[in-house]
Structure 1
Amino acid sequence: MNRKFLFALPAALIFNFSTSAEAQHSVARQWNEVMLEAIRHDFARPPIHARNLFHTALAMYDGWAAYDSVATTCLLGKTLGGFTSAFNGIAKPANVKASRNEAISYAMYRVLTHRFKNSPSAKQSQAQFDSLLNRLGYSPTNTSTNYATGSAAALGNYLGQQIIAFGLQDGANEANDYAYQHYKPINPPLITLFPGNPKLIDPNRWQPLTLEIFIDQAGNVIPGNTPKFVGPEWGRVTPFALTAAERTIYTRDGYDYWVYHDPGPMPYLDTLNTNSEQSEAYKWTYTLVPIWQSHLDPTDGVFWDISPASIGNVLELPQTLTGLRKFYNLFEGGDPGKGHAINPRTGQPYKPQIVPRGDYTRVLAEFWADGPNSETPPGHWFTILNYVSDHPAFQKRLNGQGPILDDLEWDVKAYLALGGAVHDAAIAAWGIKGWYDTIRPISVIRWMAGRGQSTDRNLPRYSPVGIPLIPGYIELVQTGDPLAGENGKNIGKIKLYTWRGHDYIKDPKTDVAGVGWVLAEKWWPYQRPTFVTPPFAGYVSGHSTYSRTAAEIMTLLTGDEFFPGGMGEFHAKKNEFLVFEDGPSVDVTLQWATYRDAADQCSLSRIWGGIHPPVDDIPGRLIGKKLGVNAFARAERFFTGRLTGVEAAPATAPSPETFSLRVYPNPIQSGQLLTAALNRPASNVVMQMYDLQGRLVQTQMSPTRAQQDFTLKTNALSSGIYLLRMSGTHWKLTQRVLLIK
């Protein structure tokens, strides 16, 4: 199988470097391209690469801004996240353009060399870094950082040195290979090759996966076969535009989790009240996933128009559970998008593109899973930015206004805005993932099906925490069923009408698994068998957060919500594009009228791919809408020089006076006193207990005198899961409490 990655226009051809391609692009663009290539061959760690993209964008922007009389630098001469970078300015050179190119090149070379030295393809990537530096006419042996001499190379080396130092204290734990320090998974691993999920402890918490062999999305074999959670403490990393006012601090096991734009908990399965609205929403959101995987059959006779005439243009996102159910078409797939009647750039209707739904959904799942070449979701949007920048109809005016910028100025400003935004998206999404620690569909579907069905007490295998029965999609195996097995061993088990999985693919070059009835205990997401599901919690969707954030940035950068010419495209060739099964059966061209349409399509792809339920998706989109706007506004302040002196980013390391909370006993029996212990005394503390519907069920005020231990009576509370919120002057903490009878 020969995979091809080509956007509709010649911009895609720059993925492979050539001398002629370099001559057409700024040095910033050339360094961005070699970095994206390095990401493609590194471990697939989206939040880490979002940070790399931001820090390199920062290097390129400051290398440009240091020579500008209007714009102000972002790191040099500033305090960012508690890190102060001294900078006394540099004399204006005779050739500003050449000095900028030189400073940017040395800064990028130093940062990239440092960041990718432990990559599985370190030698290959380093050879590319060396090659580009040499082709640009610079020597890696020039290591001076004394920019007071006026040397642009020295400025670049100093800037690279400062970014490396900044990165070693920004909360990412880079010195220890980004390892988490406090997080502990509560569930034992699911061995994916074995049926069911019998050892799951908490159906609301993340579960590691043990694979026969684990190969990440960049193609790297990961030893151990049970990947650890990537970035559960990422909320503590220094952001770009996120502020302390947008942050909530939660405590678990003595560690503070920082959560920006807190969406609140997703619907939990309350095992003691399985008929609650939250429990019903939990069952609905996860069962939608295998139902949507029944759309992955290109031979089912269903055809869709996938052009912008029929897809895209979602006008409103739901913000309630009722709205969420209405937003997604459970049985047919898709969302309420009405499409666009006219291409505003041509004045003509969009040409219909009728293809099998099963080809569209499979291409969508594969395309957005990896990006064009596995540069992870944040890197994918950099390829889209580069594609837009190369479009012959596009003019490089910031926000679509003012003079046309030269290539270098456009690139460094666009990269800073987009890099800062996707970095903030990673911090927000992974901060939420780390704290709420939610489970993935493969764990839920197998576990619920293993417990039985929750629809009818008079039918076999009834369990209130079982999976709902839906005729034609989720049923019980009956006598005489082809799935009944030897001696009827599978009679009474749950079966799904869904994508049949890897057992039906012997040769991915020619085989197609198709859709049919399979035992739910063996259900697989539509992913590679060596990958299955990303190794981190589901809620909220990183793809949804990244993509909506980036779509807002692209809209603001260009001053236009539409792609140049009114449409962006990606071609997937017949029988060439798909990786782990044959297809698509026809040529498929993904098309987007607007950047938001592309982002929304990306979000849906994760449901068809079996990675996320709807409840993971929409909160990520809503958060992304805010992040993109805020990041662009902050970037603009640097561009226009409205930031002066010292301006600190909010996510500095916590002071020793930060509060932490320990709650015990937890779980607690009704009638017992609940104790909430702070790490130091506090006065005027308010204790509030909320149920999972967000209703305040109990409040207690502490005495004005300072104390560390606080108690709360539980006699009046029914069994279930609650959120205990404690707050004082300039602080608040929340802890989940399980109350049992």
Structure 2
Amino acid sequence: MKIVKNIILPLMLSPLLLTACGGSSSSSKNEVIVAAPITITPERSGQSVARQWNEVLLHAIRNDYARPTVHARNLFHISSAMFDAWSVYRPQVKPFLWGNNVAGFNCLAQAVDLPIDIIPFQEQAISFASYKMIKHRFRLSPGANNIIATADALMTRLGFDVDDTSVDYVNGSAAALGNAIAQCYINFGLQDGANEQQFYSNRHYQSVNPALALGAGQSGNPTIVDLNRWQPLSIQGYIDQAGNPVDDMPEFLSPEWGQVVPFSLSANDKTVFTRDGFDYQVYHDPGMPPLIGSDTADLYKWGFSLVAIWSAHLDENDGVEWDISPKSIGNINSFPTTFSQYNEFYNQLDGGDTSAGYTLNPVTNQPYQEQIVPRGDYGRVLAEFWADGPESETPPGHWFVILNTVSDHNLLEKRWAGTGEILGHLEWDIKSYFAMGGTMHDAAIAAWGIKGRYDYIRPVSAIRAMADLGQSSDEQLPSYHLNGILLVDGYIELVGANDALAGDNKQNFGKIKIYGWKGPDYINNPATDKAGVDWILAENWWPYQRPSFVTPPFAGYVSGHSTYSRAAAELMTAMTGSRFFPGGMSQFDVVANEFLVFEQGPSVNMTLQWATYQDASDQCSLSRIWGGIHPPADDITGRLIGEKIGKNSFEFVQDYFNQ
């Protein structure tokens, strides 16, 4: 199976009326199926209408601003609206918002008469609900015209009238029902704590650090005030993660997101912290990260030094080759529970983790075939593949792409939790989107609530700031400072008098140098150039990212990628009833010198492979360290929280399916 990103699947034909005796359906055993004229619907002819609207939604996200929190919410609310529209015609299923009170918001609903053939009504209600919500949520997007045109096209292909805005559903109109459900979600979203009315802007948060200027002629981090707190970046020609030019320096995205109404997160798991007169709501509080100037300062220095060291791995010519198949990578059964255990989990000098791999593919009962590639290619490809950069569907949307790919696999039996009857395409998609949307929404609320509360520094700020101070390894050596960076032979050293980096006037003598990726200044043409790895002044250290982006505009602790991915992996395991991908492996093909975006590479063809959903999640987490975005402290805490969220969300969603 291949996970293919950024593809809009073909839309299905409009409904046609045919006379037939019976027909396939996703109906439950309690529904009546009679021999009568039936409608040939998307459900009965191939791809479900829910899937088609999900593809339009992912297309919309790719053409919007890069806002992972906002899009996790969009994915949940629109998936939930589809679920509610579907559930109205399934009395044994409980809607989420329709006819219910959620966090003090009442969505009033009246009962409707059930038709004999419910699927056409479900599909029409789902379509109008999705259409109206997508138009509302993406009306101010930079790609709004394209998004709305895509939504209009699907409505036309399905044979629905885009001008039908009635909400008078009591007379039996499925279109009006969909419109009414969408309006409930729109009203709910205007008071759920996301501050949608003000374009999701911050109401209280202020950064304690002035911006770090990055670009030509800018070095070090001379203006930082607090080495433990997040620092905005000032980048000339800044382009956000979705590829949109941004004139102003981006502010912290969603530091107050812990206030948003969640899906399954429990008040029992919530802690409230007050800072500067604002209550930061935190679910699954992990406690303080390692802090400079505290008794965890050594762990702080170790973590950020590891990020700098791993940037030395981004050169395919270093002679190091790895087997990147499931034979050697994956199958991690536990994570460290304290910061002091991290050095046993991560390989600080050589990269990677404690993966054990698998002896056999449990589906084929055959060994996984080795795949030997340069480590420098592997690390760069991971950083790019999981970065969810320009025109991506953001991390929560990426897991919807993975879900869709799994759902398409011919070996997947669509049995909920791996048991019971095989579900029709529509029922499977509706339930799995509802569950995945709620899980991604909760992951965003938990991760960004923590980000806002702890306001933790990113590697580009920490590494440059520590290097400006000096080294903290040996008081007898030059440039000693208690809060300086740790020296590591071969990776982080002092500039000597005869060093090429010392300068003509020895002005850099005694400064810190790092053996790592040289940065974007060494790339003129990304199609033909690569920066490579060499000794650079630490004050010029750069994450393996685009020069117009550098680092996401929000705090690091905890990693959103790690939280989203682990939560999704746990949910996928529970929904499918197996921790393994269908067939025992999923993969993504990478073509030499065509995949990397901001430099040439990789030097060889390779195939990213994962045996289990957790393996894909773990790979995503490591990619953020090679990408220079997160230290280990951000990563493991995110994985542990995501694991809780995924499991709890699956248990929570069962109550809606089993009335």
The normalised TM-score by structure 2 is 0.94
Letter in 2 for 1:199: T
In the alignment, structure 1 segments of 5+ residues that lack a partner are 1-6, 642-741
Query: Alpha carbon RMSD of aligned pairs, Å?
Result: 1.4
Aligned to 2:99: 77
Match of 1:295 among 313, 325, 329: 313
Match of 2:658 among 619, 640, 648: 640
Match of 1:563 among 581, 596, 612: 581
TM superposition shift of 1:13: 9.2
Within 1, Cα distance between the matches of 2:145 and 2:390? 23
Within 2, Cα distance between the matches of 1:631 and 1:42? 27
Aligned to 2:2: 8
Match of 1:610 among 620, 628, 633: 628
Within 2, Cα distance between the matches of 1:452 and 1:469? 10
Aligned to 1:139: 161
Whether contact under 8 Å (1:312, 1:593) holds in the other structure is yes
Query: Is the aligned partner of 1:590 residue 2:614?
Result: no
Within 1, Cα distance between the matches of 2:118 and 2:419? 25
Q: Secondary structure at the match of 1:486?
A: coil
Within 1, Cα distance between the matches of 2:269 and 2:476? 50
Aligned to 1:424: 442
Equivalent residues in 2 for 1:175-324 (5 A)? 175-193=197-215, 194-224=218-248, 226-270=249-293, 276=295, 278-324=296-342
**What's the CA shift string for 1:516-562, capped at 9, x where partnerless?**
10000010000011110000000000000000000000000000000
**What's the CA shift string for 1:591-615, capped at 9, x where partnerless?**
0000000000000000000000000
Match of 1:169 among 191, 201, 209: 191
Aligned residues: 628
Equivalent residues in 2 for 1:31-42 (5 A)? 31-42=53-64
Within 2, Cα distance between the matches of 1:261 and 1:316? 18
Within 2, Cα distance between the matches of 1:258 and 1:60? 29
Letter in 2 for 1:219: G
**What's the CA shift string for 1:181-227, capped at 9, x where partnerless?**
00110000000121000110000000000001111121111111x11
Within 1, Cα distance between the matches of 2:13 and 2:631? 45
Within 1, Cα distance between the matches of 2:62 and 2:517? 28
Whether contact under 8 Å (1:12, 1:387) holds in the other structure is no
TM superposition shift of 1:638: 0.2
Equivalent residues in 2 for 1:82-101 (5 A)? 82-101=104-123
TM superposition shift of 1:486: 2.4
Aligned to 1:670: none
Of all paired residues, the percent bearing the same amino acid is 57
Whether contact under 8 Å (2:270, 2:281) holds in the other structure is yes
Within 2, Cα distance between the matches of 1:457 and 1:223? 45
Whether contact under 8 Å (1:372, 1:380) holds in the other structure is no
**What's the CA shift string for 1:439-496, capped at 9, x where partnerless?**
0000000000000111122211111111111110011111121111121111111000
**What's the CA shift string for 1:655-684, capped at 9, x where partnerless?**
xxxxxxxxxxxxxxxxxxxxxxxxxxxxxx
Aligned to 2:30: none
TM superposition shift of 1:159: 0.4
Whether contact under 8 Å (2:292, 2:300) holds in the other structure is yes
Higher strand share: 1
Query: Is the aligned partner of 1:442 residue 2:460?
Result: yes
Q: Secondary structure at the match of 1:571?
A: strand
TM superposition shift of 1:24: 2.7
Whether contact under 8 Å (2:63, 2:142) holds in the other structure is yes
Within 1, Cα distance between the matches of 2:529 and 2:437? 40
Whether contact under 8 Å (2:230, 2:554) holds in the other structure is yes
Letter in 2 for 1:15: I
Within 1, Cα distance between the matches of 2:67 and 2:195? 14
Q: Secondary structure at the match of 2:505?
A: helix
Match of 1:454 among 428, 448, 472: 472
Q: Secondary structure at the match of 1:108?
A: helix
Q: Secondary structure at the match of 2:649?
A: helix
Aligned to 1:328: 346
Q: Secondary structure at the match of 1:210?
A: strand
Whether contact under 8 Å (2:460, 2:543) holds in the other structure is yes
Within 2, Cα distance between the matches of 1:351 and 1:372? 33
Within 1, Cα distance between the matches of 2:609 and 2:540? 34
Within 2, Cα distance between the matches of 1:552 and 1:367? 21
Within 2, Cα distance between the matches of 1:145 and 1:590? 48
Q: Which moved more, 1:101-110 or 1:463-472?
A: 463-472
Equivalent residues in 2 for 1:406-417 (5 A)? 406-417=424-435
Aligned to 2:646: 628
Q: Secondary structure at the match of 1:487?
A: coil
TM superposition shift of 1:88: 1.6
Query: Is the aligned partner of 1:55 residue 2:77?
Result: yes
TM superposition shift of 1:322: 2.3
Within 2, Cα distance between the matches of 1:479 and 1:269? 30
Q: Which moved more, 1:525-534 or 1:362-371?
A: 362-371
Q: Secondary structure at the match of 1:248?
A: strand
TM superposition shift of 1:69: 2.5
**What's the CA shift string for 1:554-606, capped at 9, x where partnerless?**
00000000000000111111110100000110111110000000000000000
Whether contact under 8 Å (1:74, 1:638) holds in the other structure is yes
Aligned to 2:378: 360
Relative distance call for 1:557 and 1:156 in structure 2 (3 A) is: same
Aligned to 2:423: 405
TM superposition shift of 1:371: 7.0
Aligned to 2:35: none
Letter in 2 for 1:208: P
Whether contact under 8 Å (2:443, 2:642) holds in the other structure is yes
Moved over 2 A (4+): 11-24
Within 1, Cα distance between the matches of 2:630 and 2:259? 24
Within 1, Cα distance between the matches of 2:199 and 2:461? 28
Within 2, Cα distance between the matches of 1:389 and 1:161? 30
**What's the CA shift string for 1:280-322, capped at 9, x where partnerless?**
0010011100101111101111110000000000011000122
**What's the CA shift string for 1:372-420, capped at 9, x where partnerless?**
9510000000000000000011111000000000000000000011100
Aligned to 1:127: 149
In the alignment, structure 2 segments of 5+ residues that lack a partner are 15-41
Aligned to 2:501: 483
Whether contact under 8 Å (2:243, 2:389) holds in the other structure is no
Query: Is the aligned partner of 1:157 residue 2:184?
Result: no
**What's the CA shift string for 1:9-30, capped at 9, x where partnerless?**
7x76953435479753100000
Relative distance call for 1:40 and 1:13 in structure 2 (3 A) is: closer
Within 2, Cα distance between the matches of 1:540 and 1:213? 28
The normalised TM-score by structure 1 is 0.84
Whether contact under 8 Å (2:63, 2:391) holds in the other structure is no
Within 2, Cα distance between the matches of 1:428 and 1:168? 20
Letter in 1 for 2:221: N
Letter in 2 for 1:171: G
Within 2, Cα distance between the matches of 1:419 and 1:592? 23
Q: Secondary structure at the match of 2:387?
A: helix
Relative distance call for 1:44 and 1:34 in structure 2 (3 A) is: same
Within 2, Cα distance between the matches of 1:12 and 1:410? 21
Whether contact under 8 Å (1:371, 1:380) holds in the other structure is no
Relative distance call for 1:107 and 1:279 in structure 2 (3 A) is: same
Whether contact under 8 Å (1:310, 1:338) holds in the other structure is yes
Whether contact under 8 Å (1:283, 1:468) holds in the other structure is yes
Relative distance call for 1:18 and 1:67 in structure 2 (3 A) is: closer
Q: Which moved more, 1:605-614 or 1:371-380?
A: 371-380
